[in-house]
């Protein structure tokens, strides 16, 4: 899938997939919301509004109040690519979100997922 197709996908299409992924592993939608809000700076109402508006992934991240300053510390592999080596800024943000949700699904604690220091 090309970057342009991913960028044009609606967050409302992606979000239920992220929730289903973690729920299969015993985690919750609230935890997904927490990691997405931590990453993007949205509050719960802002996240819900973006989903309701069918914002594209590009618009979702462009409208994000503030990416967390520790987001660049997110490391690891997603879809066979190291997230810290992704050069496209928007794709890197999308993959950061994927990585956080993956870590949640793997059972990591919220404290380890949401890097605070």
**What residues have CB less than 8 Å from 117, skipping those under 6 apart?**
70
At 20, which helix (H) or strand (E)? helix 11-23
Q: Can you give the CATH number for the domain in which 107 is found?
A: 1.10.8.290
Which tens digit of pLDDT belongs to each residue from 9-66?
A: 999 999 999 999 999 999 999 999 999 999 999 999 999 999 999 999 999 999 999 9
User: How many Cβ atoms from other residues are within 10 Å of residue 51's Cβ?
Assistant: 18
Query: pLDDT tens digits for 64-97?
Result: 999 999 999 999 998 888 999 999 999 999 999 9
Contacts of 88 (CB under 8 A, 6+ apart): 3
Distance (Å, rounded) from C-alpha 24 to C-alpha 41?
A: 26
Taking the alpha carbons of 58, 109, 29, 38 in that order, is the dihedral positive or negative?
Answer: negative
Which pLDDT does position 113 carry in this prediction?
Answer: 85
> Which domain, by its residues, includes 20?
3-113
Q: What is the pLDDT of residue 117?
A: 42
- Domain count within the chain: 1
pLDDT at position 1 is: 60
Across-strand partners of 56?
A: 10
């Amino acid at each position: 899938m090309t970057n342009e197709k991913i960028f044009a996908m609606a967050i409302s299409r992606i979000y239920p997939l992220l929730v289903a992924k973690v729920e299969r592993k015993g985690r919750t939608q609230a935890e997904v919301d927490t990691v997405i809000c931590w990453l993007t700076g949205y509050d719960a109402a802002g996240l819900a509004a973006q989903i309701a508006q069918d914002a594209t992934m590009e618009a979702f991240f462009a409208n994000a109040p503030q990416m967390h300053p520790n987001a660049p510390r997110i490391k690891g592999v997603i879809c066979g690519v190291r997230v810290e080596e992704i050069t496209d800024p928007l794709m890197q943000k999308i993959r950061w979100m994927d990585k956080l949700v993956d870590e949640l699904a793997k059972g990591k604690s919220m404290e380890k997922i949401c890097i605070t220091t």
